[in-house]
Structure 1
């Protein structure tokens, strides 16, 4: 008979889902990464709320003027024809996100994502109004009374004020902010502006105040595709199981080595500070947004216990296995090279974009003879000065020999001015090589010959035998 192989039992640990029915109530904490996030958040909030109030040459510095169909960014003005540059910018941002993910996981989510930033702000208001974690839990379970109503009213009132300021600022990037605020205070705001103010106020209030982590867990696709981008050298938030296990409560004076325990005292504070409610000790999970709150609180616990910091830290899988950190690896260098190339191409595209727009439309009639016996065609010309200063444009038309242009060929256009005109082009019948000849319309800046725009068209003549 063959020898029986003994069965092997694999221990399985149940991991509770982060999206349980119980609301997530986070506790306060302090630490380096919290301070870093606050500093970065102050900069981002300052840029968002402050940039809209800046002026440039008598206009709002950053404004997407939908009515005039132009987008101002300080000294540069972009038009619908420049949307390819916007597409390129979005592609660069997406590729930059891929690069950051390969390097350090979801640090964008933890430190820069608007959903995270506004959620942290709303959580701060909640703690300011209702107290820390235990007080908020107790308040939620207590019956309604004057005290509870006052605290809830204060919290939701501040949430709505922040949401309204957020919406007003956002709409102010599409409608000049100063007239918008004046109209709002005078109760003269138009219906469309009121709709968007209400919409973005409600969206901010719901997303940051009520949905919070549910947006990250169920609506954002980023966490779902990050797993295919991480590798064993990606620096992510990690729990050092070799050092932390076996977990267990103990007094500070107990030597964990003597007690057969690891450094983790199983205090669950890393879970209580997590905005998505996960336990990082179960390994990296899709719900982790890389905010490092668990690192800060765990380091504070290690300090109180007299243990070395870093039980939870930013580390790669390779580092946790005892290896060295490898930042300069082919995959990451490849991403960096492609990203640098894309940024350079976008910068070149922005700097070399055309500041003159020219459109040419031939009249529907085929041709006619003028008083001099020449064949004559009619054209509709549209010129646009896309620059922020006045310029003089020269219109040149090349084609068959002896072309005669009947109409103006020199134009003075103010900043962002459009000009539409009609002109005729005539040629002797003997100069035409066939029924249709090529024409090239070119508009050139009189003071900067490198700024020009060209459009081809056709010149129609009689049938010759």
Structure 2
């Protein structure tokens, strides 16, 4: 017996399997799927709780609003995700691929529709080999309609993270949704339908870079799905009550279930292969066979190469410690940066056209633009003042109301009697406070005169 037999169109027919790991994968997948689908509909203080508004350059996460100036937080999140992936891959192999990768989650959802509408694996193989009939036509049509429905919901949900969810749903069906958003919905719909319905493991084996560089993180103490060759060989069929030792056989009955349940269509008995996504389906299948035969479970299990060779598995090792330490550093840096983040930002822009000008009263005047960013989700009043100058005249507002998440440019001028100035350039400070925060922001600037 070799790898899973496939249809001439290279389609892999996955057999449904129940078991501990498949329940874990299924329930985890449905939880993540539900979380993804429902999150855009969570209200918070009269608006969408999570909304990444690219047009307004505001990224709302419940009570926190991030701006492009806060992109360092996003960089930290990407680094945390990367090193978490490295850490868990080194420790537990491709558990991300087998249990939480969107490609895997959506693929198994699509396979579930196949099972419900076209029947079990053998029935699906027989149906595809047979000619077209009314029964085959309605089952195939219903399956693809279900796939398209799931894909459309997925596409609208993806866009709903960037455009208010009600606008996406009602606008898409009424034709009032903008071209870019409509294109995005259609694109993600077709991508989901193609990836989970047709390409499936082709995405994992030929398109996903993770499958290619995972070997750099693996070592002989990494937990993988492995087959115990010493115990299983020589494989072969036998009756339940027959003693395999008397027949010269190992515990593997060569039922081929481990191949039939594999979404990648590989035979785990051939050793570690990069197509394996560590979903554990073959473990559940083999354990059920072992139970029926009265043998000990674990012929196929989550194990390590050292353990399969009869050695000891080192749970704590330099590579794992290194990834863990870097991960902790990245997490710490993220929270330190988040804690240091202020609720408002101020920038000062000097007039680039002229350093100063002289008023009709003989005063020296410098012109500035104060850029006020309200990063809170409440309207705030900014109080403005300048320090470092002798008695001066402030031309412009000293209090400015800025709505939640808004950016306001405030042009102001400072005028000083030149005889009060001791230098051509005077170092000054703009001091800004707000009504919604006790924080004070001080921005350095310069005042120029003719002396």
Q: TM-score range by the shorter chain?
A: over 0.9
The residue that corresponds to 2:207 in the other structure is 219
Match runs of 1:136-175 below 5 Å: 136-175=124-163
Whether the 8 Å CA contact 1:19–1:217 is kept in 2: the answer is: no
Call closer, same or farther: CA 1:414–1:16 in 2, change over 3 Å.
closer
The residue that corresponds to 2:36 in the other structure is 48
Whether the 8 Å CA contact 2:167–2:177 is kept in 1: the answer is: no
The residue that corresponds to 1:417 in the other structure is 406
1:187 to partner: Cα distance: 3.9
Partners of 2:427 and 2:418 in 1: CA distance: 15
1:143 to partner: Cα distance: 0.9
Match runs of 1:2-401 below 5 Å: 22-363=10-351, 364-401=353-390
Partners of 1:285 and 1:18 in 2: CA distance: 18
Stretches of structure 2 that go unaligned for 5 or more consecutive residues are none
Whether the 8 Å CA contact 1:235–1:315 is kept in 2: the answer is: yes
Call closer, same or farther: CA 1:147–1:21 in 2, change over 3 Å.
closer
Q: C-alpha deviations, 1:53-106, integer Å up to 9, x for none?
A: 110000011111223221111111111111111111011001100000011000
Whether the 8 Å CA contact 1:354–1:452 is kept in 2: the answer is: no
Partners of 1:249 and 1:294 in 2: CA distance: 18
Please give the secondary structure, in 2, of the residue aligned with 1:52: helix
1:16 to partner: Cα distance: 9.8
Partners of 1:381 and 1:342 in 2: CA distance: 34
Which region of structure 1 is more displaced relative to structure 2, 420-429 or 379-388? 420-429
The count of residues paired between Structure 1 and Structure 2 equals 450
Partners of 1:17 and 1:141 in 2: CA distance: 13
Partners of 1:457 and 1:147 in 2: CA distance: 79
Q: Give TM-score scaled by structure 2 length.
A: 0.94
Call closer, same or farther: CA 1:283–1:18 in 2, change over 3 Å.
farther
1:151 to partner: Cα distance: 1.0
Whether the 8 Å CA contact 1:295–1:312 is kept in 2: the answer is: yes
Partners of 2:294 and 2:332 in 1: CA distance: 50
Please give the secondary structure, in 1, of the residue aligned with 2:382: strand
Whether the 8 Å CA contact 1:17–1:278 is kept in 2: the answer is: no
1:213 to partner: Cα distance: 0.3
Whether the 8 Å CA contact 1:391–1:412 is kept in 2: the answer is: yes
Please give the secondary structure, in 1, of the residue aligned with 2:341: coil
1:446 to partner: Cα distance: 4.6
Partners of 2:341 and 2:418 in 1: CA distance: 39
Q: C-alpha deviations, 1:358-394, integer Å up to 9, x for none?
A: 2222122221112442211111222121101232322
Partners of 1:277 and 1:435 in 2: CA distance: 79
Call closer, same or farther: CA 1:267–1:17 in 2, change over 3 Å.
closer
RMSD of aligned alpha carbons: 2.3
Stretches of structure 1 that go unaligned for 5 or more consecutive residues are 1-12
Which region of structure 1 is more displaced relative to structure 2, 164-173 or 21-30? 21-30
Whether the 8 Å CA contact 2:259–2:268 is kept in 1: the answer is: yes
Partners of 2:235 and 2:354 in 1: CA distance: 88
Q: Give TM-score scaled by structure 1 length.
A: 0.91
Please give the secondary structure, in 1, of the residue aligned with 2:311: coil
Partners of 1:104 and 1:114 in 2: CA distance: 18
Partners of 1:332 and 1:397 in 2: CA distance: 53
Which region of structure 1 is more displaced relative to structure 2, 410-419 or 355-364? 410-419
Whether the 8 Å CA contact 1:233–1:318 is kept in 2: the answer is: yes
Which region of structure 1 is more displaced relative to structure 2, 258-267 or 17-26? 17-26
Partners of 1:277 and 1:85 in 2: CA distance: 40
**4+ aligned runs moved over 6 Å, structure 1:** 13-21
Please give the secondary structure, in 1, of the residue aligned with 2:262: coil
Partners of 1:224 and 1:192 in 2: CA distance: 33
Partners of 2:164 and 2:436 in 1: CA distance: 33
Q: C-alpha deviations, 1:276-298, integer Å up to 9, x for none?
A: 11111111111111101110101
Whether the 8 Å CA contact 1:18–1:287 is kept in 2: the answer is: no
Partners of 1:37 and 1:48 in 2: CA distance: 16
Partners of 1:248 and 1:455 in 2: CA distance: 79
1:125 to partner: Cα distance: 0.6
Partners of 1:27 and 1:317 in 2: CA distance: 28
Which region of structure 1 is more displaced relative to structure 2, 234-243 or 13-22? 13-22
